[in-house]
Every structure is written in structure tokens, then in C-alpha cells.
């Protein structure tokens, strides 16, 4: 699986080897990715159970590309700034869920928007995907703006744990 690219980011797909490196700690992950991993790693809302869930998904090769991507900022110096990705391959109804998280010092620079756009392009490149969904909390206004800028519309205010649920259909105009 090749990395995805945006003007500012390289989205490196998680592999079993990268997941194992991350389980071993920041130094091992830095060596495996060949980029610095900041001391603040991991980003908010990216927790050990998320890494464990992605690791389990990677045991099935059909999930390749449908798990997590490490977000590596290209300049001013290559560094790991966050994660973004899918919660698994699309359902039989053509629905896939995305999520993202950036380290605090890399927020509000358009990086999350770039990452989400790359994920949407990847997802809608697959004819079976009809809808992409995402959840965020009402107090995370910057995250809500990322979803709105990338063409998502509010679907429900009763997501998991009080989250707002957004959706983006293949046919939606992103403007």
C-alpha cells in the first residue's frame, strides 16, 4: 500500500510492522517511520485501544488501506504530526467511517482538512463506497469546521458518547 499525499502531508498507511513498532514505543516508531516522533505523542483521542483495534484489523489483508495512516508533515522538517484513517473497510451498504487527530501544536494549519480530503479521495475512488461518516464532539469546533469544509453534513446529534455524527455522500457537492 503506497502512502497518500497532500501538499503538506504524507499519509503513511499502518502496517503490521508499524503497529508493532508503535506498541514498542516512540523510539521504535520513529525508527520504523524514519521521522521524529514528538514527546507529546500520541494525539488527543488516539488511545491504546485504537492501536489495538487497528492491529487486529491488519490481520485481515482485505483491510489494507482501510485502517490508520500516520500523518507526516513534509516541511519545515519531516515530523509525525498526527493520525487519520478509517475504522475498517466499507460495510456491505458502502459506508466507511473516518477519524483524525493532530498533536496540539500542528492544529489550525489546514493539515486535518488536507488529511480528510485525501481520505475522501481514497474512499470514493472505490466504487463500493457511497458514504463516509465521521463523529466529533460538540465542543471541538475546529473539528466540526474541518468536516464542514470537506463537504460533510450533520446527520445526528446522538452519536457515541454524545458525539455529533456527520456524513458525506459520494454525490454531495463539497461546497
Sequence spans of domains, the chain: 4-129
pLDDT tens for 9-40 read: 999 999 999 999 999 999 999 999 999 999 99
* Global model pTM greater than 0.85: yes
Question: Long-range pairs for 89-96 at CB < 8 Å and ≥24 separation?
Answer: 89/62, 89/63, 90/66, 90/123, 90/126, 90/128, 90/129, 93/130, 94/128, 94/129, 94/130, 94/131, 95/129, 95/130, 95/131, 95/132, 95/133, 96/66, 96/123, 96/129, 96/131, 96/132, 96/133
Q: What is the CATH number of domain 4-129?
A: 3.40.630.30
Task: With cut-offs at 50, 70 and 90, classify the pLDDT of residue 159.
Answer: low
Mean of pLDDT over the chain? 93
Amino acid at each position: 500500500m503506497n502512502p497518500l499525499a497532500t501538499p503538506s502531508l504524507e499519509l503513511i498507511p499502518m502496517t503490521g510492522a508499524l503497529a508493532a513498532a508503535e506498541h514498542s514505543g516512540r523510539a521504535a516508531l520513529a525508527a520504523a517511520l524514519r521521522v521524529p516522533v514528538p514527546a507529546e505523542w500520541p494525539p488527543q483521542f488516539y488511545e491504546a485501544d485504537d492501536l489495538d483495534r487497528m492491529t487486529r484489523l491488519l490481520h485481515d489483508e482485505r483491510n489494507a488501506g482501510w485502517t490508520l495512516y500516520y500523518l507526516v508533515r513534509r516541511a519545515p522538517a519531516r515530523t509525525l504530526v498526527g493520525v487519520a484513517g478509517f475504522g475498517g473497510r466499507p460495510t456491505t451498504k458502502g459506508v466507511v467511517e473516518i477519524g483524525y487527530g493532530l498533536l496540539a501544536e500542528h492544529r489550525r494549519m489546514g493539515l486535518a482538512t488536507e488529511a480528510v480530503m485525501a481520505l475522501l479521495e481514497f474512499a470514493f475512488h472505490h466504487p463500493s463506497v457511497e458514504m463516509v461518516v465521521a463523529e466529533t464532539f460538540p465542543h471541538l469546533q475546529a473539528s466540526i469546521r474541518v468536516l464542514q469544509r470537506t463537504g460533510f453534513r450533520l446527520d445526528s446529534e446522538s452519536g457515541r458518547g454524545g458525539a455529533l455524527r456527520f456524513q458525506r455522500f459520494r454525490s454531495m457537492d463539497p461546497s
